[in-house]
A and B are shown apart, each in its own frame.
Chain A
Amino acid sequence: MPLLRMRDATFATETATVGPVSLQLEPGERLTLQCATAEEAAVVALLAAGIAKASGGSVLIDDYDPRVQPVHCKRVTALVPHEPFAIDESEFARYIAYRAALWNVEPARAFAHADLIRGRLRGMHEAFAYPLIGALIGLPRLIILDRPQAVYAPQIRTAVGDIALLSTHTEPAAASAFA
């Protein structure tokens, strides 16, 4: 059973329509998606994460429709936004505790997991590493990266491990770094 299935998925904004996007992602698989614009990449990432609801076509996450079962879909996926986080080292523990509370993860386990992932992301800037760590402590089965930094591709691939990965890009070089 595919973990993510998008069939002619579109999202209509006030000015333009994004899509149609069709793709299928199996558990453990990695997929990079080359988009024409930054807006398109962000919208596709939000659709795949079940955060935005498709205006047309269908998006199924673990065979569930985010329009009907948003909570189940959000347990399966985790989105790492493109924008860097404006939090520093002093607020890291607070951020992990907050994420653990929202995803109902045991605090001690969340902190241990966060430390483990942090070790794997050594050399990566905190502003980009923290959201990925936060996303991974919820134990998702699918990670969605919205325009990740190509320079950190090796660390990100190591941290994500066997979890299915979908990344959106606007530059071919960045897409090939995650392929």
Chain B
Amino acid sequence: MTARALFGVLQARLYAQRRVVLSTCAGALVAGLIAPASLAGPVLFCSLLGIVLALSQSPGVHPHLDRCEQSAPLFGRELARGKALVPCIAAALTVLVYMTGQLLGGAPIPPLTLLIALGSTVAGTLVALSATMRRGVLRALYVLLAAATSLVAFALVEVGRSVPGALAFCAVVAFLALRQYGETLARYDPI
């Protein structure tokens, strides 16, 4: 996939989803301003926003983009990378906005909190992307799995006291989720 195609997908999707992105960022700012300083806030709340951003990319929400991407000369894994980048960037933005809210509220932000929040949010978002290609119970299960990803990352830090463990867990889940999404897109029949 050329960088142009990647940025083309990114630009078109971000433009089409601009209202959702702005709404989630506004929500993250408000939550960051009022929430007490803790790891739970950014990890769990921003992961939830990441799931919302991933689901807003479901087939049928922007049909003209779906049709263009389905007929474009791209492999499923290439398209998956382009489409996954969109909610990941938007979700990372919500984390940064949340942290900005915390800073404005006078709370300190340890760099590790930012790192773990980014890692768990991106991993949860990538898992939630697989829910967009499914319906019914399977869709709900993938959403639950995405939420569980953030919970496990949070537990690894708070209970297991292992920041590298949490980051490694997020990296492995993110890698597997992206592969799974690419394979699903390659097999997907838009009928």
- Whose C-beta in chain A lies nearest to the C-beta of B79? A102
Contact B75–A102 (Cβ < 8 Å) = no
Which residues of A lie under 8 Å from residue B69 when comparing CB positions? 102
| Stretch among A67-75, A111-119, A148-156, A167-175 lining the B interface | A67-75
Is chain B's interface secondary structure helix, strand, loop, or mixed overall?
Answer: helix
Which residues of B lie under 8 Å from residue A71 when comparing CB positions? 73-75
A97 within 8 A of B: yes
Known: A94-B15, A98-B11. A46 touches B72 (CB 8 A): no
Contact with A along B10-29 (1 / 0, CB 8 A): 01100100000000000000
Contact A51–B70 (Cβ < 8 Å) = yes
Query: Interface size on A (CB < 8 Å)?
Result: 34
Closest Cβ of chain B to A58, distance in Å, is: 16
CA gap between A43 and B67 in the complex, in Å: 14
Contact A11–B8 (Cβ < 8 Å) = no
Contact B68–A134 (Cβ < 8 Å) = yes
Which residues of B lie under 8 Å from residue A43 when comparing CB positions? 191
> What are 16 A-B interface contacts by the 8 Å CB criterion?
A11-B191, A13-B191, A46-B190, A71-B73, A71-B75, A74-B71, A77-B71, A83-B63, A98-B11, A100-B8, A101-B4, A101-B7, A102-B68, A102-B74, A104-B2, A131-B64
